[in-house]
Amino acid sequence: MSSLHIVNKSPLSHSCLDECLSCCQQGDELLLIEDGVLALSSLKPQQLDKLNALGLQPYVLAADVAARGLSTRLLPPFQSCDDTGFVDLCVKHPKSISWF
Amino acid sequence: MKFSLLVLAAPYSDQSVGTALRFAQTLLQQGHEIFRVFFYHNGVYASNALSTAPQDEANIPRQWQQLAQDHNIDMVSCIASALKRGVLDESEAQRYDQPCHNLIAGFELSGLGQLVEASAQSDRVVSFGA
Amino acid sequence: MNKKLLIICRKPPYGNSLAREAIDIALAAGAFEQDVSLLFCGDGLWQLMAEQDSQELALKNHGKALAALPLYGIDDIYVQADALAERQLSQNELLLPVKALSPAEITALIDSADTVLNF
């Protein structure tokens, strides 16, 4: 049963993303919201490796990216997701797990 | 699909309260349904009727109240979290001999059983943390 | 259908009330006879230290709340094996009998849950 993992903390100043990645499995997806979108410009190489190894698609919440002035940093593998997309991801996966 | 939301974040301190509100509004627009929003930990401050925001900032408790009214949603603040943080309804204020009560209309105080029930009854539970 | 609820506890006790509040949810779920399991990960393992004495903090003893879990029918209590080692803790010095899980077993536990509350 796949999960949507929702992370709202910076990957550099908090362990949330690392803890999340250690619990993910193939088929899961990752949504970065609030300070989590800072990963667009500060993902650690080990974190990127882990994402790739799991084939984990990272989404970033569009409103949070725009608010933080990071729109120009939005590059693959990250994909933008609006609020409707957030709801759709929650519908798609049988459960969501919030990391805060 | 039937959703319940667990809100732990503190209004005016943590962004998650706003994220949760947008999420709730969006899922209702999409035709999904909300079984219950359960406010826990610092989230209960979102049910304080005395929250007074400056004119250029949103009044967060009133936003949730409006959502509850518009869509007839069950909004529950955890009674244990709320009493400790000074959010009381009329009967609790009487019971503890407090001079006033401030639970915003449209919310009710209840126990964690309401969260357990929400989790059992809903297709999805989404948490909005601090 | 009785849904499987998994509560993940990652916060150390006392510094923030979330550690305690997560346990309160577990106790409530137990009281309502839900199928609930607990997984202690990372710094959440510090919640399981034996001989906690919080008297001077004027805070309730967290260990005592955890000791009540079996009384509420909650016996599925797991810890992250890697986190034990990182903290120089061993399973048998914890205040409750727990099962240590490998990363693959943790993933499987999460996979089998219907709802996950993660603190």
Q: What is the pTM of this model?
A: 0.97
Q: Is B97 helix (H, G, I), strand (E, B) or coil?
A: coil
pLDDT bucket at C2, cuts 50 / 70 / 90: confident
Residues of chain C with pLDDT > 70, as a percent, come to 99
Q: Say which CATH number the domain at B114 has.
A: 3.40.1260.10
pLDDT for position A80: 98
Distance from CA of C67 to the nearest CA of B (A): 19
Count of the separate structural domains present in chain C = 1
Chain B residues close to A8, C-beta within 8 Å? 15-16, 19, 129
Under 8 Å CB pairs connecting chains A and C tally to 35
Cα dist from A35 to A41, A60, B23, C93, whole Å: 12, 10, 17, 37
Structural domain for C61, as ranges: 4-118
pLDDT at C30 over 80: yes
Which listed residue (B17, B78, B79, B88) is catalytic? B78
Residues 75-104 of B with CB under 8 A from C: 80-81
Task: Round the CA-based radius of gyration of chain A to a whole number and report it.
Answer: 12
CB atoms within 10 A of CB A7: 27
Residues in CB range of B19: below 8 A, 6 or more apart: A8, A33, A34, A61, B128
Structural domain for B56, as ranges: 2-128
pLDDT at C1 over 80: no
What is the maximum alpha-carbon separation in chain A? 35
pLDDT digits (tens, 9 = 90+) for A48-86: 999 999 999 999 999 999 999 999 999 999 999 999 999
The answer to whether the beta carbons of residues A74 and A46 sit under 8 Å apart is: no
Q: Say which CATH number the domain at C92 has.
A: 3.40.1260.10
* Statement: A3-99 belongs to CATH 3.40.1260.10: yes
Q: What span, in angstroms and rounded, lies between the C-alpha atoms of B78 and B114?
A: 8
* Structure-token match 């729109």, residue found: A71
The answer to whether the beta carbons of residues C84 and C40 sit under 8 Å apart is: no
